[in-house]
Structure 1
Amino acid sequence: MSENCYHCGTDCGKQPIVFDQKYFCCNGCKTVYEIFSENNLSCYYDLEKSPGAIPAEIAGKYDFLDNTAIAEKLLEFNDGTTHVINLYIPHIHCSSCIWVLENLNKLKTGVKSSQVNFPKKTVRITWNANRLSLKDLVILLSSIGYEPYISLEDYEGGKKHLNRSIIYKLGVAGFAFGNIMLLSFPEYFEVDEFWLNQYKPFFRYIMLAMSLPVVFYAASNYFLSAYKGLRSKFLNIDVPIALGVLVLFIRSLIEVVSNTGSGFFDSLTGLIFFLLLGKFFQQKTYNFLSFERDYKSYFPIGITRVKNGEEDSIQVYDIKKGDRLLIRNEELIPVDGILINGKARIDYSFVTGESDPIKKQSGDKLFAGGKQLGGAIEMEALKSVSQSYLTQLWSNDVFTKDKAEGFKNITDRISKYFTLTILLIAISAGAFWLWKDLAKAMNVFTAILIVACPCALALSAPFTLGNLLRIFGRKKFYLKNAGVIEQLAKINTIIFDKTGTITSSKKSEITYEGNKLSEVEEILLKNTLRNSNHPLSRQLYDILDANNIITLDDYQEHTGKGIEGASKTNKIKIGSAEFVGVPKIGSTKKTSVHIRTEKGYKGKYTFYNKYREGVAHLFSQLKKGYDLAILSGDNESEQENLQKLLPAKTKMFFNQQPEDKLNYIKFHQQEGANILMVGDGLNDAGALKQSNVGVAVSENVNVFSPACDAILDASKFNEIYYYLRASKKAMNIIKASFLLSFLYNFIGLSFAVSGQLSPVVAAILMPLSSISVVVFTTVMTNFIARKLR
């Protein structure tokens, strides 16, 4: 007698694989079972019989994915070997789903990595196309119960996916609730005679039958979520709801079967209906706010466009198909295109996670998200830019996990013991009424569990921070995620870089001292500077006369020191005196950039800094609540001016290498400081990543680094104080909404414990409380926005 595979349900044949007293058709199914078991996910097999089965219709369902033209439209990245796709998975609903989907590489060797976006129910997968086709990947997902929703129209139009399951469940619950209420009227009005003698038991069983799809279908997500939470030894917010529904159903079932009463089927179905109704409106509100806070269209990153031999800076979302773009060292490629000239060494680690640069030749295709390492290149755009794609790369959780370790958000801290407390209150009150009035005990127990649902508590932070995230975006302060606001509220120390941060790279005065450069040297100087994104390089490049554009044979950038380039037999070094090999003469402390060619030392450009408008006022505002410091890679030339400009207690450190800045931040963090680092995003990458919050000031330059948590438009530099103040006020709004939620719970519990609140009324009040919290947080955050200049 043959056995069916425990995992996929297919016939194991005459030689099944036996493991853990279970039968498997192949080692693949056995491996999946082992992975689930080792990580306490064996409850996956309780969801349905043979969840990993591949139905016959799926075998040919995805044949269209073998079509290269169709697959290309779905892929985000394709270099021939590495493919990246973002798939919508409607069935993602809990932490177990996240674990399974983020460990696909353990199920298939071709999968390199996978990352779940839980709110959007999407998974972003990177895999080796030589080992696994897109069709095989989709079938793999379907076989483990996570069939993706694929529609080319949605992918091309960017439409939002709508999960209709909650609408279907709401319809089932509403239909049953209405009919059960109708059938319950004779019970309400105590109609005897005809009703009592012939039809009472019959209609009670009809109500029982109608409640079954409501309990086992409409309320199924509550049971599944509660069960998985308990299996993981965690009391989530669905535990009291599931317990309340279960208690009502069992009590009603016993009464009908024993003919001792009509049960509580009206309250039970009404409860689930109103729970789902509240969830539906919350989902609609959340989707609306998610759309409203779509700050990607405000993203400030710019790009240099080459048109008719002239270069101009444009916002990335103004890029059109056919535009010729200049990509400098360390700049991000914002859109798919064709390499026209230059030597490309592309780092696709933002996209694929692999940091080995890939060399590209003229005519090769370049993909959005890659970062050029080396000299400047020119490319032709193949399509307009996708802002959401760029922001997705920037917001990638891979780059924030280290910084987020040990940080607990306010909801986790406050609601940690909420569910446990409610369960204790419900059990205590239920026991009391069980002793005093058996008829009331079940109603009291259920009403407490429902009225104290912590949904309002759970919604306070996401809606407050999400709305403020959108508002900040409109004010040109762009945050990676809402959690950054919470960390901003905890800041007590602010560290600023000098060059390109508190100084403006567009207003400096520059003078030259030294020997006149030849025409060849001027061309080489201009084109070497053209490759660099350093603030001093950009300033110097802008003031030099226009020269012929040439492609360098060699280009290198030495962080914190300088740059060098070569064309044919001509070489040039640009940077600090030490970098070009010039001894320091006298005690000059001006910020200078020295020039050396193969013919020897030529001279230096001296920079006279212009500080950003409002710097003095900003520091005056910040000194009242924060420790302030300047960490500059330049010499002490500006120390005297800064001492006049900034508050007396501002610490100043000069000649700081990138590692010096990082170590300074690390030391003070160990002393208990919560540090905000404000830099230019280039030499400060290490410091930005080490700090609690790293802010990169942007002058419309396409420097794209995962190290920063926020990008601040340079025109809003003097508004930093107001952003910090708004973040602190947002935390106060969350705390106030918590108090509102606790007040509601206290009043509701008072009525529930005393037996004056029925479960169905509690179910109506619960979503109303959640909606009131959403309205309160949205109104208050909009009020804060009016205070921002």
Structure 2
Amino acid sequence: MIESTCFHCGNDCGKTIINFDQKAFCCNGCKTVYDIFSSNDLSCYYDLQSAPGAIPETIEGKYDYLDTPNIIERLVEFDDGNTQIITLYIPHIHCSSCIWILENLHKLQSAISASQVNFPKKTVRITFNKELLSLKEAVTLLSAIGYEPYISLDDYSAKATQINRSLIYKLGIAGFAFGNVMFLSFPEYFEVKEYWLEQYKHVFRWLMFAFSLPVVLYAAQDYFVSAYKGLRSKLLNIDVPIALGILVLFIRSTTEIIFDLGTGFFDSLTGLVFFLLLGKFFQQKTYSFLSFERDYKSYFPIAVTRIAKVKQKKKRTEENIQVYDIKQGDRLLIRNEELIPVDAILIEGNAQIDYSFVTGESESVAKTSGEKLFAGGRQLSGAIEIEALKPVEQSYLTQLWSNDVFNKDKSASFTNLTDVISQYFTIAILCIAIVATMFWLFTDATKAINVFTAVLIIACPCALALARPFALGNILRIFGKRKFYLKNSDVIEQLAKADTIIFDKTGTITTDQKSSIEYQGLQLSVDEESLLKNTLRASNHPLSRSLYKILAGHNIYTLDEFQEHTGKGIEGKSAQNTIKIGSPGFVGKDHHSETLNTAVHISANNKYKGQYIFHNQYRKGIKKVFKTLSKTYNLFILSGDNEGEKAYLRQLLPKNIKLLFNQKPDDKLNYIHSLQQHQQQVIMVGDGLNDAGALAQSDVGIAISENVNVFSPACDAILDASQFENITKYLKISKNVIKIIKSSFVLSFLYNLIGLYYAVTGQLSPIIAAILMPLSSISIVLYVTVLTNISSRKLTSKK
């Protein structure tokens, strides 16, 4: 076999090499895409990156639903009767070549006037003339060149999202005011008498007052609202002393300029609000292109083909209907690789259903006519016809989301580290202010009010409030670079608190592909192995395809007879030789196999030969990961699979790990709930829809995903599958960053003690407040940023 790489997609061409234009292609699809690009003067596509393309897959009738007017209306962003605009998600976008070709679609189709790629979100926004090009034709064009859009029911039902830019506006106003107030304060800071004349002094002070008004009334309003709600709920959160400090700063500063007592603290006031908003902005900046709040709508197609009978002509017609319009008794056509949207009965065709994202069972299931099929399964072998038993809202899959756990807001029951400390901090500051004021009332009453306001001003916990958002925001950024995407900063604290980790098996600690196949039995002759491979070649069963790939190369020839017995096995005949592949009973084995592993049995000329046993392929570094985690955490594996891999896992993993198999989605959820009732903080690591309930119930749900943008259930974090072996490092960094935050709190308290000394002794001056407050904020930000960078760099550099 001459090994060659496809010029378009980079895949190994194998034995089937298609030569065209002095280049090698693995299939006619790749050759056709190359021909389209070169014919339209777009061959520069291949200059930007070697083999950037994907193998185009076209399934007849797949996009027929895009001819339905009410579906088109819900999908397109703009339609004036002539021009339509639509934004499509393209999973294959990965390099500069992709951007270049997608933004030059007008060269392939003149009806397209513009196309713009959003690379982080992997979307393309296409503007086209609907009179010359339909939406279906536009999507078909994208599929034909290897950029098939991903369109789901979630896209159809999603409402237009309103972008909240209020924080950006508030930050801009606070920054503008802070800069101008600092500039107007310079003459008094440095006592520049020749410029600080009587006629200008009041103008400058009232200008500073004017700049501070929008900061207090608009930019800082969230702190006042939060403090009010906290007090109303009898909770002293971090915003109570902040709001009190802002209010006292403004009132005292305003009083000073009204009665000509001084210039006030408008610089400290605007600087405080600016830095606080900057921290909040940094904290909220997360990965908007990822979806953490997913349900069944993210996985279902938006339409399906319904088969209807015309009574007069006694003919069958096909029509595309919305998934929500499916009714009990409707007959539906499910094509190869399509998802079954409702619970149904199989009417016609050979069904080979993959339920791995619903049940967790890794093997596909063969079904015969009359058997029940559940929503969420994916058909793997040709087209089938089914009869709906229920509408989409009542299917088994959608009922996975009916559990109360999906209505639970984890953030509502979680109190972060800052809020815990702020309760004691607020009480302490108020006590100090009251005691100091009482002391000065009896000692020197003229200083009492100054001391009271000075304590509240200088002890305003700006550094305390900034430490956590900047530290956790920086870690969010670092984790994101290393393909670990968190829903929000609270998840880092919850990761640090966890003491128990539960792993799903299929698709989580195992890879999607099974490459470990072991043969047990009598040696096959060359002719028998050749017949075996050619028989497997004619089958579309997943196990047949996996076994076909690992067999040695043999001449390809046409079988005299081939028959596939659904649910049992396949049979091939060439000349006088016959071979059977399938279940023990089908091949004539007297007794069933003792192993619980998935196995394919072989018999040649009615003589039993042996079996190919399929072992799960586990992720790289799994042994080291579990060995490291077992020293710190209680570890469990909950799997929907049978116990076939139990003995192997016992050898592979530490002995103290508890293994539970045959676990249904509800079993996993309930097991986690029972652990939480014993005060255990649980991290659940899963992948598919069958883990959705467990991920939602856990304190932190981490979804392992081969593609972080396409198929991951509702969760708190998404971990790229390639980074699985680094999960121990992420957990260790999370613990370290909490230690850094706590040390920054100590540093912040030292700042406050210094400031309180000046305040309580009545020595507070504008220059001290102006320098100390911004200095403490900036130094805390630098402290946590530098330390989090150092901590993560050391850990991630270890091999």
TM-score, length-scaled by structure 2: 0.54
Is the aligned partner of 1:505 residue 2:512?
yes
2:279–2:470 contact (8 Å) kept in structure 1? no
Please state if 1:739 is matched with 2:746. Answer: yes
Of residues 166, 169, 175, the one that matches 2:174 is 166
1:444–1:758 CA contact under 8 A, matched in 2: no
Unmatched tracts of structure 2, length 5 or more:
1-76, 90-154, 306-317, 335-356, 358-374, 381-404, 522-527, 557-566, 569-580, 603-609
Name the structure 2 match of 1:465: 472
Q: In the TM superposition, what is the alpha-carbon distance from 1:741 to its structure 2 partner?
A: 1.0
CA deviations 1:354-379 (Å, max 9, x no partner) are xx9x99999xxxxxxxx9966579xx
- Alpha-carbon distance change, 497 to 230 in structure 1, aligned in 2, over 3 angstroms: closer
State the one-letter code of the partner of 1:275.
Answer: L
Q: 1:498 to 1:584 in 2, by over 3 A?
A: farther
Distance in 1 (alpha carbons) for counterparts of 2:660 and 2:647: 13
* 1:732 to partner: Cα distance: 0.8
1:723 maps to a residue whose letter is Y
How far does residue 781 in structure 1 lie from its aligned partner after superposition? 1.0
Partner of 1:688: 695
**1:434 corresponds to which residue?**
441
Is the CA contact 2:584–2:592 (under 8 Å) kept in the aligned structure 1? no
1: CA distance, partners of 2:694 / 2:81 = 44
Per mean C-alpha deviation after superposition, the further-off stretch among 166-175 and 536-545 is 536-545
Given that 1:591 and 1:606 are in contact with CA atoms closer than 8 Å, whether structure 2 keeps it comes out as yes
User: Out of 418, 425, 428, which is 2:425 matched to?
Assistant: 418
**Residue matched to 1:263:** 261
- In 2, are the aligned partners of 1:480 and 1:710 still within 8 Å (CA)? yes
Aligned to 2:266: 272
Which one of the candidate residues 240, 257, 262 is aligned to 2:244?
Answer: 240
Q: Which residue of 2 aligns with 1:484?
A: 491
Is 2:256 aligned against 1:252?
yes
- Amino acid in structure 2 at the alignment position of 1:245: L
Q: What amino acid maps onto 1:273 in structure 2?
A: D
Does 2:728 align with 1:717?
A: no
The residue identity in structure 2 corresponding to 1:746 is: L
Separation of aligned partners in 1, 2:319 and 2:547 = 23
Q: Is the 8 A contact 1:345 1:359 kept in 2?
A: no
Distance 2:82 2:276 in 1: 36
Q: In the superposition, relative to structure 1, how do residues 651 and 633 fare at CA in structure 2: closer, same or farther (>3 Å)?
A: same
Task: Report the Cα distance in structure 1 between the residues aligned to 2:194 and 2:444, rounded to whole angstroms.
Answer: 25
Residues of 2 paired with 1:180 and 1:72: CA distance?
Answer: 61
How many Å separate the matches in 1 of 2:433 and 2:81?
A: 59
Q: Give 1:231 shift.
A: 4.6
Q: What amino acid sits opposite 1:509 in the alignment?
A: S
2:703 touches 2:713 (CA, 8 Å); kept in 1? Answer: no
Post-superposition Cα deviations, 1:362-401, rounded to whole Å, max 9, x if no partner, equal 9xxxxxxxx9966579xxxxxxxxxxxxxxxxxxxx9785
Equivalent runs, 1:364-383 vs 2, <5 Å: 375=378
Structure 1 residue 263, shift from structure 2 partner? 0.9
The Cα offsets for residues 471-503 of structure 1, whole Å up to 9 and x where unpaired, read as 122223222222211111111112222233323
5 Å matches for 1:569-608?
Answer: 585=592, 587-592=594-599, 606-608=613-615
Q: Is the 8 A contact 1:495 1:675 kept in 2?
A: yes
User: 1:403 maps to what in 2?
Assistant: 410
Give the CA deviation at 1:413: 1.3
Once residues 418 and 707 of structure 2 are traced to their aligned partners in structure 1, the CA distance between those partners, rounded to angstroms, is: 36
Identify the residue that residue 680 of structure 2 maps to in structure 1: 673
Say which SS state the counterpart of residue 703 (structure 2) adopts.
strand
Cα pair distance change 1:67/1:419, threshold 3 Å = farther
Tell me the CA shift for residue 645 of structure 1: 1.9
Q: Distance in 2 between matches of 1:540 and 1:666?
A: 41
3-state SS of 2:620 partner: coil
Contact 2:209–2:266 at 8 Å: present in 1 too?
Answer: no
User: Any conservation in 1 of the 2:304–2:321 contact (CA below 8 Å)?
Assistant: no
- 1:678 is paired with a residue of what secondary structure? strand
Q: Alpha-carbon deviation of 1:685? A: 2.5
Contact map agreement 1:346 1:360 (CA 8 A) in 2: no
**How far is 1:223 from its partner?**
7.3
CA RMSD of aligned residues (A): 5.7
The DSSP-based 3-state class of the residue aligned with 1:495 is strand
Question: 1:182 and 1:751, CA in 2 relative to 1: closer, same or farther beyond 3 A?
Answer: closer
Matched, 1:646 2:644: no
Matching residue of 1:389 = none
Sort the Cα spacing of 1:245 and 1:652 in 2 relative to 1 into closer, same or farther, 3 A. Answer: closer
Match of 2:712 among 684, 705, 712: 705
Kindly report which structure 2 residues correspond to 1:38-437, keeping only aligned pairs within 5 A, or say none.
164-170=172-178, 173-174=181-182, 177=185, 185=193, 209-210=206-207, 212-214=209-211, 216-221=213-218, 224=221, 228-229=225-226, 231-232=228-229, 234=231, 236=239, 237-249=241-253, 251-252=255-256, 256=259, 262-264=260-262, 266=263, 268=264, 271-280=265-274, 375=378, 401-437=408-444
Counterpart among 664, 671, 681 of residue 657 in structure 1: 664
- The answer to whether the Cα contact below 8 Å between 2:685 and 2:695 also exists between their aligned partners in 1 is yes
Q: 1:163 to 1:69 in 2, by over 3 A?
A: farther
- Residue 636 (structure 1) aligned with residue 643 (structure 2): yes
Q: Distance in 2 between matches of 1:175 and 1:161?
A: 21
Deviation of 1:632 after TM superposition, in Å, equals 2.4
Work out the percentage of aligned pairs sharing the same amino acid: 43
Gaps of 5+ in 1: 1-64, 78-124, 139-146, 151-159, 189-194, 257-261, 301-328, 349-355, 363-370, 378-397, 530-535, 547-561, 564-573, 596-602
SS at match of 1:274: helix
CA contact (8 A) 2:491 2:700 kept: yes
Change (3 A) 1:272 1:219: farther
The alignment covers a number of residue pairs equal to: 528
Q: 3-state DSSP class of the match of 2:772?
A: helix
Q: What code does the residue aligned with 2:267 have?
A: F
- Structure 1 counterpart SS, 2:647: helix
> TM-score, structure 1 length as denominator?
0.54
Could you tell me how far 1:447 is from its partner in structure 2?
A: 2.2
CA distance in 2, matches of 1:497, 1:277: 49
Aligned mates of 1:785, 1:273 — CA distance in 2: 36
Instruction: Measure how far apart 1:619 and its partner are.
Output: 1.9
1:620, 1:646 within 8 Å by CA — same for their partners in 2?
yes
Distance 2:426 2:319 in 1: 60
SS in 2 for 1:756: coil
1:215 is displaced (CA, Å) by 5.3
* 759, 768, 779: which one aligns with 1:772: 779
* Alpha-carbon distance between aligned partners in 1 of 2:660 and 2:185, rounded to the nearest angstrom: 71
Aligned to 1:116: none
In 2 relative to 1, CA 607–734 (structure 1 residues): closer, same or farther, beyond 3 Å? same
